[in-house]
Chains A and B, each alone.
Chain A
Amino acid sequence: MKSKKSSETTKIKNKPEKNWPKIPTDLDPWRPVWAQQKTFDLASGKYLKIWHGPQHPGVTGNMSVELTLEGDVIVEAKTHVGYLHRGFEKLMERRKYIQCFPIVCRICVPEPDFNEYLFATGVEELAGVQVPERGIWIRTLVLEMMRAASLTMGLGGQAGAFGLVPIGQWGVAHRDYILDLFEELTGGRVYHMYIIPGGVRQDLPEGFAEHVEVVMNKLEKLIADIERVMFNNAVFKARAKGLGYIPPEWIEPYGITGTTARAAGVPIDVRKDNPYLIYDQLDFDIILGSESDVYERTRLRKEEILNSIRLIRQILKRMPSGPVRAKLPNVLHWKIPAGETYVRAESGRGEMGYYVVSDGSEFPRRVHVRGASYTHAMAVLERLAVGISIADLAGLMPSLQTCPPEIER
Chain B
Amino acid sequence: MNIERIKNELAQAWTVAVKDVRVYYLRPGMIMFGFLMPFFMFFSFSVRRELGAAEGLARLLAMTVFFTAGAAGPFIIPTERRIGTYDRLLAAPMALLTLLLGKTLVGAFFAIAVSGVALLAGLLFFHSTIIQPGLLVAGIILGAFSFSTLGLAFGSMPTTNPGDVQMPSTLLRWGLLFISGVFIPLNEMSPIARSIAYISPLTYAQDIMSHAVMGKGLINPWLDLTILLASGILFLWPSIKLHQRARVLGR
Q: Does A associate with B in a complex? A: no
Residues on A lying within 8 angstroms of B by beta carbon are: none
